[in-house]
């Protein structure tokens, strides 16, 4: 500027009309005569000072809030096409950058936050006051402001919106870009305020794009909510004064434009808003309530907390627990983990499902007198079975016609004075098994005492059982037909145990009977009914049926069959039953006479078909309104049962039977007997059961035929029982389960040995010095006949080691068929002393020629066991 000397020259240098400059000079207090007047350096400084001052006065209005710079560059690249020829492609890059003062952004951000808050509050209010039919669709109230604001907003705001939108993408507004004069960027920046207003008039493509967007939005929204406002311009006028709403729009648009992106033109505003909310980062972490059952896997926990399973595993590691995602975690661990991850654990109410069941189980209707349920008890051979048979013969068969009498575990007799239900399983086992399951089945105990034998140990035991069950006793002095019968001896014997007859001043009825001749049976029935009358046994036959399982079995043709004694309500054909872990619809109901009936009232025993499996005697059976619920509860019980089984820490051991007995407590030794034949199973079961003493009782849980399988092992775990294998062996899965769960398994081949050992265990004398240990098992894959050795079993050693000099057993289907020694053990025609697992060998069994393919050869040794262990 130093070479400028006249006003004219200065005006052209500044690009200002001469008159405008003269005016400015005048206002600045510089006196000049005209365009040709010279102008000094000091005058120029004075003018600059004036101009600066003038500009600073109007800062508020004139300084733009943002500056947009646009740049376009061209280049060329060489590309080769599929034909291998190259071609040149022109590239045009358009850049647009908008500068906005930080203070402006902050201000906008604050406004946006405030707006978002208000919006949230509004939405909260709406949600709490109105029922949203479709949660995807915003309510009319929340759309309204957006709708009107969009169309009414000032063009200035629209430009602003465009500029922001374009910041994200390379602008499509070619026209606008063409107006850009690159060399004058700085100057343009200074004059932006003016240019912006120009662009408003020009109606840039961006602006019209926004309009499109706006009207799209408008149309979409208005179609649903405001059919009367089709034109955006119309609503513009009507709502213009609504300053608050206008402000709100500004914020909405500033927010939403981030997401409009390339499809700004097509995407309705509503969608943009939805997205905005979708991306809104929660200001506080979401605390979830995590319901924790007895056990839960890491994967399930992850799902409940809405986190990745890997995250849970990582957290567990931090807690020092190495777990896979499918590994079940115990409740305590799960609680700690959930708390650690910032959520709220909630323990699952164990019997919540059961509780809901019980709620509907309340007894409905008037209670009417019901038949008493009687169990016959007494010493062995005193005539329990005979008495039950006698009553059944005389009362059931004669009383009903039609069906064939069958054993269903209980039967009902009819007499003129009333009905009585007899539990058809004599003895104490069934009674105690039911009681152990918490089932109160028996109302009255008929104590059978043989008049020729008097009070015996099991008579006393029966008295104790009856007392424990709080069931009154009616004494049947049996075998009075016998000449040597002495009823008074019985009375005396029982009086010694506080069972005093009415004649002797007590309150117990004594009835002399003969199961053989039938004498006194009617009197016995009368006495039972009298006892029942005093007890005022009542039940309602209305409402949901409830009962107890007396026995169950698996029938080849019918499937699972169970006898239920209905205790309240009426059981009907078609009802959905839940019992223990089994469910099912009652497909058929049969009485003890084999008659099919449609419904059973309280105290009626019925055999039902239709259950999913065989429930246990003593299991409660209830009718559930819906099948799904029944299954749900059954599954819940199943999982609980599994957990309980696994939770068992101390499996029963024959040796340490007395280790944990408290003084004065009767220890019960539970046995599961498996034998090669039915006769052995029965003999063992009876002999072992008779070993019961005052201190310890033997309870045979099951006595069956066949190899020991996994089910037996599981049963042993559940019942804390010892398994006795008589000439049978455990199969592979059972052996694995035995090792895993530490079940005590004893093999015997001589009944006497089994009895002897159990006897010693019962008296606390068992000091096992030698124990058999199976060291190897080979499977016979082929049998060769050798003139020298006879039958040679071409075998594969599948477990352990086969030793030439150890005793062996030959097993067929896990049943011992031969016991002896090896005659030869060969490998590749060479005699060897031992062969290890995974190796083939030839085995010759001494004095046994009947070995077959599929047999197993078991090698064992007798090892000394330290009794202190
Ligand atoms: P439980 O072991 O108590 O069931 O006794 P049982 O019913 O099996 O009877 C044992 C034995 O006593 C059988 O041989 C019966 O025949 C016999 N018995 C049962 N009741 C009578 C009876 O009233 N009179 C006679 N003389 N024998 C009877």
pLDDT per residue over 381-419, tens digit each? 999 999 998 998 877 654 444 446 677 889 999 888 889
What's the pLDDT at 84? 61
Do the annotations mark residue 481 as ligand-binding? yes
The Å distance, Cα 594 to ligand 1 centre, comes to 27
The Å distance, Cα 449 to ligand 1 centre, comes to 10
Locate 147 and state its tokens: 């709708």
Domains and CATH numbers, the chain: 5-56 (no CATH), 289-347 (no CATH), 368-538 (3.40.50.300), 539-659 (2.40.30.10), 663-765 (3.40.50.10050), 769-865 (2.40.30.10)
What's the pLDDT at 829? 80
- DSSP structural state of residue 6: B
Locate 777 and state its tokens: 């098992």
Q: Is 478 in the pocket of ligand 1 (CB under 6 A)?
A: yes
Indicate the top mutation candidate among 378, 380, 386 to test ligand 1's pocket, ranked by most ligand atoms within 8 A of CB: 386
Nearest to 206 by CA among 245, 152, 167: 167
Per-chain mean pLDDT for the chain: 74
Phi-psi region of 70 (alpha: psi -120 to 50; beta: other; left: phi over 0): beta
The Å distance, Cα 383 to ligand 1 centre, comes to 4
Model confidence band, residue 865 (pLDDT cutoffs 50, 70, 90): low
Do the annotations mark residue 480 as ligand-binding? yes
Q: Is 516 in the pocket of ligand 1 (CB under 6 A)?
A: yes
Q: Is 482 in the pocket of ligand 1 (CB under 6 A)?
A: yes
Q: Is 520 in the pocket of ligand 1 (CB under 6 A)?
A: no
The Å distance, Cα 444 to ligand 1 centre, comes to 21
Residue nearest to atom 22 of ligand 1 (CA): 479
Do the annotations mark residue 516 as ligand-binding? no
**Model confidence over 331-389: pLDDT tens digits?**
778 888 888 888 888 876 545 555 555 555 555 678 889 999 999 999 989 999 999 98
End-to-end CA distance of the chain: 112
Whose structure tokens read 């918490």? 438
The DSSP element (H or E) to which 129 belongs, if any, is helix 102-129
Nearest to 611 by CA among 548, 550, 552, 545: 552
Residue partners of 699: CB distance under 8 A and separation at least 6? 429, 432, 668, 669, 670, 671, 689
Q: Is 386 in the pocket of ligand 1 (CB under 6 A)?
A: yes
The Å distance, Cα 515 to ligand 1 centre, comes to 7
pTM to 2 decimals? 0.44
Residue partners of 516: CB distance under 8 A and separation at least 6? 383, 386, 390, 479, 481
Q: Which atom of ligand 1 is nearest to the CA of 515?
A: 23
Q: Which atom of ligand 1 is nearest to the CA of 426?
A: 4
What's the pLDDT at 315? 84
Model confidence band, residue 168 (pLDDT cutoffs 50, 70, 90): very low
Model confidence band, residue 602 (pLDDT cutoffs 50, 70, 90): very high
Model confidence band, residue 603 (pLDDT cutoffs 50, 70, 90): very high
What mean pLDDT do residues 692-720 have? 81
Q: Which atom of ligand 1 is nearest to the CA of 386?
A: 7
The Å distance, Cα 390 to ligand 1 centre, comes to 11
Write the DSSP string, 588-651.
Answer: EEE-TTS-B-SEE-TT-EEEEEEESS-PPTT-EEEE-S-HHHHHHHHHHHHHHHHHHHHH--S-
Write the DSSP string, 273-322.
Answer: HHHHHHHPPPSSPPPPEEEE-SEEEHHHHHHHHTS-HHHHHHHHHHTT--
Residue partners of 731: CB distance under 8 A and separation at least 6? 707, 708, 709, 710, 814
Best-predicted range by mean pLDDT among 119-133, 197-211, 247-261, 595-609? 595-609
Do the annotations mark residue 428 as ligand-binding? yes
Q: Is 301 in the pocket of ligand 1 (CB under 6 A)?
A: no
What's the pLDDT at 88? 79
Q: Is 456 in the pocket of ligand 1 (CB under 6 A)?
A: no
The Å distance, Cα 381 to ligand 1 centre, comes to 6
The Å distance, Cα 623 to ligand 1 centre, comes to 40
The Å distance, Cα 519 to ligand 1 centre, comes to 14
Please check the confidence at residue 4 and state whether its pLDDT lies above 80: no
Q: 815-843 burial, b if ≥16 CB within 10 A, otherwise e?
A: bbbbeeebbbbbeeeeebebbeeeeebbb
Do the annotations mark residue 194 as ligand-binding? no
Q: Is 389 in the pocket of ligand 1 (CB under 6 A)?
A: no
Residue nearest to atom 25 of ligand 1 (CA): 479
Model confidence band, residue 204 (pLDDT cutoffs 50, 70, 90): very low
Q: Is 384 in the pocket of ligand 1 (CB under 6 A)?
A: yes
Q: Tell me the backbone φ, ψ of residue 398, rounded to 5 degrees.
A: -70, -30
Question: Alpha helices of 443-573 — where are they, by DSSP H?
Answer: 457-468, 487-495, 521-535
**Model confidence over 66-107: pLDDT tens digits?**
677 777 777 777 777 655 677 777 887 777 777 777 777 777
What span, in angstroms and rounded, lies between the C-alpha atoms of 725 and 674? 5
Q: Tell me the backbone φ, ψ of residue 604, rounded to 5 degrees.
A: -105, 125
Q: Is 518 in the pocket of ligand 1 (CB under 6 A)?
A: no
- Say how far residue 665 (Cα) sits from the centre of its chain: 39
Do the annotations mark residue 425 as ligand-binding? yes
Please check the confidence at residue 563 and state whether its pLDDT lies above 60: yes
Exposed / middle / buried, residue 389 (Cβ in 10 Å: 0-12, 13-18, 19+): middle
Please check the confidence at residue 605 and state whether its pLDDT lies above 80: yes
Residue nearest to atom 18 of ligand 1 (CA): 383
The Å distance, Cα 531 to ligand 1 centre, comes to 25
For the ranges 55-69, 295-309, 444-458, 739-753, the lowest mean pLDDT is seen at 55-69
The Å distance, Cα 378 to ligand 1 centre, comes to 11
Strand order in the sheet with 667-675: 696-705, 667-675, 722-726, 745-748
Higher pLDDT, 644 or 704: 704
What's the pLDDT at 392? 85
Indicate the top mutation candidate among 383, 389, 449, 682 to test ligand 1's pocket, ranked by most ligand atoms within 8 A of CB: 383
Q: Is 280 in the pocket of ligand 1 (CB under 6 A)?
A: no
- The CA–CA distances, whole Å, from 596 to 400, 599, 601, 750 equal 13, 9, 14, 47
What mean pLDDT do residues 418-425 have? 89
Residue nearest to atom 9 of ligand 1 (CA): 383
């Amino acid at each position: 500027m130093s070479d400028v000397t006249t006003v004219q020259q200065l005006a052209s240098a500044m690009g200002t009309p001469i008159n405008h400059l003269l005016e400015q000079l005048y206002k600045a207090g510089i006196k000049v005569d005209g365009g040709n007047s010279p102008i000094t350096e000091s005058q120029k400084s004075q003018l600059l000072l004036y101009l600066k001052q003038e500009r600073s006065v109007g800062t508020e209005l004139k300084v733009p809030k943002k500056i947009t710079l646009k740049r376009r560059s061209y280049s060329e690249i060489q590309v080769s096409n599929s034909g291998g020829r190259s071609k040149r492609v022109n590239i045009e890059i358009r850049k647009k950058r908008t500068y906005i003062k930080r203070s402006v952004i902050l201000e906008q951000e604050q406004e946006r936050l405030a707006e978002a808050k208000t919006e949230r509050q509004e939405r909260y209010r709406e949600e709490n006051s109105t029922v949203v039919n479709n949660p995807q669709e915003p309510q009319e109230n929340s759309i309204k402001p957006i709708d009107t604001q969009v169309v009414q907003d000032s063009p200035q705001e629209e430009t602003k919106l465009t500029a922001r939108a374009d910041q994200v993408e390379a602008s499509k507004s070619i026209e606008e870009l063409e107006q850009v004069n690159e060399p004058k960027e700085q100057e343009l920046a200074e004059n932006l305020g003016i240019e912006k207003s120009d662009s408003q008039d020009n109606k840039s493509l961006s602006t019209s794009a926004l309009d499109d967007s706006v009207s799209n939005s408008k149309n979409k929204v208005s179609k649903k909510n405001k059919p009367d406002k089709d034109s955006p311009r119309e609503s513009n006028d009507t709502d213009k004064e609504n300053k608050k709403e206008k402000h709100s729009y500004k914020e909405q648009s500033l927010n939403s434009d981030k997401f409009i992106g390339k499809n700004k033109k097509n995407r309705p505003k509503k969608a943009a808003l939805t997205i905005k909310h979708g991306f809104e980062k929660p200001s506080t972490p979401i605390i979830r309530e995590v319901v924790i059952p007895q056990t839960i896997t890491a994967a399930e926990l992850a799902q409940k907390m809405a986190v990745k399973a890997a995250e849970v595993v990582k957290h567990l590691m931090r807690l020092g627990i190495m777990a896979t995602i499918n590994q079940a975690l115990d409740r305590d661990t799960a609680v700690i983990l959930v708390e650690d991850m910032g959520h709220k654990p909630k323990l699952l109410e164990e019997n919540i499902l059961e509780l809901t069941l019980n709620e509907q189980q309340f007894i409905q209707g008037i209670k009417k007198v019901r038949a008493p349920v009687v169990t016959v008890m007494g010493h062995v051979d005193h005539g329990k079975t005979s008495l039950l048979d006698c009553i059944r013969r005389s009362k059931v068969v004669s009383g009903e016609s039609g069906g064939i009498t069958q054993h269903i575990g209980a039967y009902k007799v009819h007499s003129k004075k009333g009905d009585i239900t007899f539990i058809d399983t004599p003895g104490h086992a069934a009674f105690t098994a039911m009681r152990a399951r918490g089932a109160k089945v028996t109302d009255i105990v008929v104590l059978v005492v043989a008049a020729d034998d008097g009070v015996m140990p099991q008579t006393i035991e029966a008295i104790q059982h009856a007392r424990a069950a709080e069931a009154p006793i009616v004494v049947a002095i049996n075998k009075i037909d016998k000449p040597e019968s002495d009823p008074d001896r019985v009375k005396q014997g029982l009086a010694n145990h506080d069972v005093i007859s009415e004649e002797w001043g007590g309150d117990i009825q004594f009835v002399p009977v003969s199961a053989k001749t039938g004498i006194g049976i009617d009197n016995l029935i009368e006495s039972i009914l009298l006892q029942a009358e005093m007890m005022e046994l009542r039940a309602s036959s209305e409402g949901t049926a409830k009962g107890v399982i007396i026995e169950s079995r698996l029938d080849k043709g019918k499937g699972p069959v169970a006898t239920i004694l209905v205790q309240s309500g009426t059981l009907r054909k078609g009802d959905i039953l839940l019992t223990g872990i089994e469910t099912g619809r009652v497909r058929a109901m049969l009485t003890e006479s084999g008659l099919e009936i449609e419904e059973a009232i309280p105290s009626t025993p019925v055999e039902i078909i239709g259950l999913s499996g065989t429930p246990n005697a003593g299991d409660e059976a209830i009718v559930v309104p819906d099948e799904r619920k029944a299954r749900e509860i059954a599954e819940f019980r199943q999982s609980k049962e599994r957990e309980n089984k696994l939770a068992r820490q101390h499996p029963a051991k024959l040796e340490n039977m007395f280790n944990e007995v408290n003084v004065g407590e009767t220890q019960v030794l539970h046995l599961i007997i498996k034998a090669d034949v039915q006769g052995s199973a029965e003999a063992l079961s009876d002999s072992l059961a008779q070993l019961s003493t005052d201190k310890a009782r033997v309870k045979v849980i099951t006595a069956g035929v066949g190899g020991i399988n996994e089910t037996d092992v599981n049963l042993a775990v559940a019942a804390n029982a010892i398994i006795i294998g008589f000439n049978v062996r455990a199969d592979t899965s059972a052996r694995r389960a035995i090792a895993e769960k530490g079940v005590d398994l004893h093999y015997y081949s001589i009944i006497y040995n089994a009895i002897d050992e159990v006897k010693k265990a019962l008296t606390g004398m068992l000091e096992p010095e030698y124990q058999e240990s199976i060291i190897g098992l080979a499977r016979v894959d082929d049998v060769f006949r050798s003139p020298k050795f006879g039958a040679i079993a071409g075998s594969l050693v599948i477990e352990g080691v086969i030793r030439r000099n150890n005793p062996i057993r030959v097993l067929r289907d896990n049943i011992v068929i031969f016991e002896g020694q090896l005659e030869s053990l060969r490998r590749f025609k060479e005699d060897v002393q031992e062969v290890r697992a995974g190796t083939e060998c030839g085995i010759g069994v001494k004095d046994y020629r009947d070995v077959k393919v599929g047999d197993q050869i078991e090698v064992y040794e007798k090892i000394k066991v330290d009794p202190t262990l």
